[in-house]
Structure 1
Amino acid sequence: MSHLNLPEGLTSRVLTQNDAQAVYDVAAAQEQSDIGKTEIELADIISDWGRPSWDIATHTIGVFDGARMVGYGEITGHDRGDAAVHPDFRRRGIGTAIAGWMQQTVRDLGGTGYGSPVPEGSPGDRLLEKLGYRVRWHSWVLDLPEGKKIQDRQLPEGYAIRAAEPEEYPKFHDVIEDAFLEWSERDRQSYADFEASVIGRPGFEPWCLRVVTDAGGEIVGTAWVIMSPDPVMEAYVQALAVRKDQRHRGLAQALLVDAFARGREHGALRSSLSTDSRTGALGLYQKVGMEVGDIWVNRAIGV
C-alpha cells in the first residue's frame, strides 16, 4: 500500500536509499519541536537501512508536498515502527494516515502488532493515544553532564577492559544478544545485520567496541560507544551487556565508566545512554552519576 488518504496536493510513495537525508530532516525537525534538540543522526538511518534482513521497498512510506518530504513511516523490525511529520504539516491528518499504513504493513508482513517510541506528552504521543495505542514501556535518556567527574570502578582480580579485536566481533554480538533477549520479545538479530548496522555504521572506529574479559581471556561483557558530533561531541553508549553468570561483580559499571573515559579521550564533552522499564537498569546508571533527561514512551497496538 503506497497511496495514502492524504489532503489535496500531497502524495505518497515508497522510499529509496536516496531518501535517507530527507527522512533525517523530517525526524530532526520533529524532535527539535518536541524536545528542543535533535537526537537522531543520519548515520542511524543509513546503518538501519543497510541491514540485509530489511527491505526498503516494503517497509517504508514517504509523504510529499511536491518534491519536499513532509512525513514518513517505516517498519524497522518485527514489532517496531518509526514515523515523523514535519511540524509545519501537523494537524492535517498525515500522522493518522501513516499510522494506518504502518498497521496494514505489519499485517501484510504477518505480524500481530507493533510499537513506536515517542516523547512523553508530545503531539505524537497524544495522537497515538487517541488512535488507541497503549503504553508498552517507558524509556529514559540519561546524561553525564559536561565536566562531571567520572568515578572509577575497580574490576575484580584477573578481569580487564579493552577494545574488541575484529575476530571477536561475533562474540561481542553474542553477548549483547544473549543479554538483551532475556527481556526483549523479538527474534535474535543475525550477525549479518549486526555487522551492517554496527561495523558498517558511518563513523565507526574499532575502539568504540569495548569488552571486559575474565581471567581466562573470555569476553563476558560488552559496551558499544557511538560518537555524536552535533551540537557538541557526545559519547553515546548504544548497548551495554554482561553475561548472566558474571553479573553483580561491578563489571557493567566498570564498562560504563570506561566508555565515558574513552569517549572523553576522543573529544566528547558529554556522555549519554538510554534505558527502559523492561531492563531494571535505571539505578545502575544513576549510581555512576547519570541524570535523567528526556522521557519517552513506547506505544503499541495490535493489528
Structure 2
Amino acid sequence: MSAPSLICLPTGYRSRSATTADVTALHRLVTACEVELHGRAATGPDAIAADLGSPGVSLESDTVLVHDCAGELAGWGWVKGRRSTVHVHPRHTERGLGSLLLAWAEARARQSGSDRLAQTVSDSDQAAIALLGSRGYSRLVTEWLLEIAMPVEPEVPEPPVGITVRAFRAGDEQRAYQLTEDAFDEWQQRRKTYTEWAQHTVERETFTPVASPVAFAGDQMVGAVLSLDVPGNDEGYVERVAVRRDQRHRGIARMLLRETFRAFYRQGKRDCTLWTHSDTGALSLYERIGMTVRRSSTVYCKALTSSQF
C-alpha cells in the first residue's frame, strides 16, 4: 500500500519522502523554526537522525518533505504510530503548507491503523495551535522546559546510606534501559524496545557519559541521569531521569541531578535544561532543586475516523 500523497501543493512546490541524506537539511529547517519561536536552537542533528532511524519507521511511507522551486526545504512531516511532527520554515508560512502536512499525517496514521494522532506544539506557536484547534485536536498534557543557572560550581549532597554513585560507562546500557523504561511505564503509552531507546539516548553522538551519573544499591542500578551535550549549544541537557520505585523519596534523583549539573559546569556550561510533563508529576522535584520553567508546550490529540485523505 503506497503512502498518502500531498495534494494541491501551492505552485512551485514539490514533495517527496525523506532519506537519511536529508538530516542536515532537516536540522536547518527545525532550528530555523526554533529560532523564530524561541530565539535559540535546541535540537541537534543526532535527534533528527534518531527519529528517522527509529525502528518501525519507513522513510518512504512515514515521512514527507516539501521543497520550493529553488530546492529549499520548506516543510516536512513525520509519523510514527500515534505521534507526528510537522514543521514549516518561517519563510514559507501562510501558504497552506501546515494544513496540507497535517492532513497528510492524519491520513498516514489512519492508513497504518492508528485510531488517534498526537502532536507537540510550543505554547508560543499561536498559528499551529489555531490550526490544530480547527481540525478537532484537544489538549492532552503539558510539557515544561526547565532550566537552572550555574554561576558557581554546584554542590552535590552525599549519597544516601547504602548508595554508591559513578559516571555511566560501557556495559551500563542494558541496566539503564531496564531502569528507565520501568520508571517510565507508569505514564508512557508503550514500552520502547532496547534498539529504539538506545537510538534516542546512549547511541546518540551527543550522549555524555561524564555528565550521566548512575546510582547503585549493591550491584543493582537504582537511579540514572542520562545527559546530552548538543553541539553549538552552550547548555547541558538532561535527556532521562529515573529512580527505581522502591528507592524513591531518599534524595537519589536530587543527588544525581546535582552531580550532572556539576559535571556540566566543569565542562564550561553555565546552564542546564530538561523537559518534563504533567503526567510524570516530577515538576515539583525539579523546582525544589532550583530549576525554573523557561517555556512550555502542549501535546494535542485527535481521534481519527475512517474518512479518507
TM over 0.5: yes
Write the distance in 1 (CA, Å) between the matches of 2:179 and 2:38. Answer: 33
Q: Does 1:218 align with 2:220?
A: yes
After superposition, what is the alpha-carbon deviation per residue over 1:58-88, rounded to whole angstroms, capped at 9, x for unaligned? 211111102111000101x432111110111
Write the distance in 1 (CA, Å) between the matches of 2:6 and 2:141. Answer: 32
The partner residue of 2:43 within 40, 44, 61 is 40
Residue 227 of structure 1 corresponds to which residue in structure 2? 229
Deviation at 1:119, TM superposition (A): 0.9
Indicate the larger mover: 290-299 or 163-172.
163-172
The partner residue of 1:132 within 126, 130, 136 is 136
Contact 1:3/1:13, CA 8 A, preserved across alignment: no
Write the distance in 1 (CA, Å) between the matches of 2:152 and 2:265. Answer: 11
The partner residue of 1:84 within 53, 77, 87 is 87
Residue 29 of structure 1 corresponds to which residue in structure 2? 32
Write the distance in 2 (CA, Å) between the matches of 1:154 and 1:146. Answer: 19
Deviation at 1:302, TM superposition (A): 1.6
Residue 73 of structure 2 corresponds to which residue in structure 1? 69
Write the distance in 2 (CA, Å) between the matches of 1:205 and 1:248. Answer: 26
Write the distance in 1 (CA, Å) between the matches of 2:42 and 2:7. Answer: 28
Contact 2:52/2:59, CA 8 A, preserved across alignment: yes
Paired AA for residue 227 in structure 1: D
Paired AA for residue 27 in structure 1: V
Which 5+ residue runs of structure 2 have no aligned equivalent? Answer: 305-309
Write the distance in 1 (CA, Å) between the matches of 2:82 and 2:158. Answer: 39
How many corresponding residue pairs? 299
Q: Does 1:142 align with 2:143?
A: no
The partner residue of 1:174 within 164, 178, 181 is 178
CA RMSD in angstroms, aligned pairs only: 1.6
Deviation at 1:166, TM superposition (A): 2.1
Q: Does 1:257 align with 2:261?
A: no
The partner residue of 2:52 within 38, 49, 52 is 49
Residue 10 of structure 1 corresponds to which residue in structure 2? 13
Paired AA for residue 285 in structure 1: Y
Q: Does 1:202 align with 2:167?
A: no
Indicate the percent of aligned positions where both proteins have the same amino acid: 29
Write the distance in 1 (CA, Å) between the matches of 2:152 and 2:188. Answer: 32
The partner residue of 1:155 within 159, 182, 185 is 159
Structure 1's consecutive aligned runs of 4 or more residues displaced over 6 angstroms after TM superposition are none
Contact 1:150/1:288, CA 8 A, preserved across alignment: no
Contact 1:227/1:268, CA 8 A, preserved across alignment: no
Deviation at 1:165, TM superposition (A): 3.2
What SS does the corresponding residue of 1:167 show, helix, strand or coil? Answer: coil
Q: Does 1:239 align with 2:240?
A: yes
Indicate the larger mover: 101-110 or 54-63.
54-63
Contact 1:151/1:288, CA 8 A, preserved across alignment: no
Paired AA for residue 222 in structure 2: V
Paired AA for residue 223 in structure 2: G
Contact 2:19/2:59, CA 8 A, preserved across alignment: yes
TM-score, length of structure 2 as denominator length: 0.92
Deviation at 1:149, TM superposition (A): 5.9
Deviation at 1:156, TM superposition (A): 1.2
Deviation at 1:148, TM superposition (A): 5.7
After superposition, what is the alpha-carbon deviation per residue over 1:226-267, rounded to whole angstroms, capped at 9, x for unaligned? 0123242x1111110111111111111111111111112222
Change (3 A) 1:125 1:151: farther
Deviation at 1:185, TM superposition (A): 1.4
Deviation at 1:38, TM superposition (A): 1.4
Paired AA for residue 116 in structure 1: Q
Deviation at 1:180, TM superposition (A): 0.8
Residue 183 of structure 1 corresponds to which residue in structure 2? 187
Write the distance in 1 (CA, Å) between the matches of 2:82 and 2:153. Answer: 39
Residue 248 of structure 1 corresponds to which residue in structure 2? 249
Write the distance in 2 (CA, Å) between the matches of 1:157 and 1:21. Answer: 47
Change (3 A) 1:56 1:62: same
Change (3 A) 1:152 1:31: same
Contact 2:180/2:242, CA 8 A, preserved across alignment: yes
TM-score, length of structure 1 as denominator length: 0.93
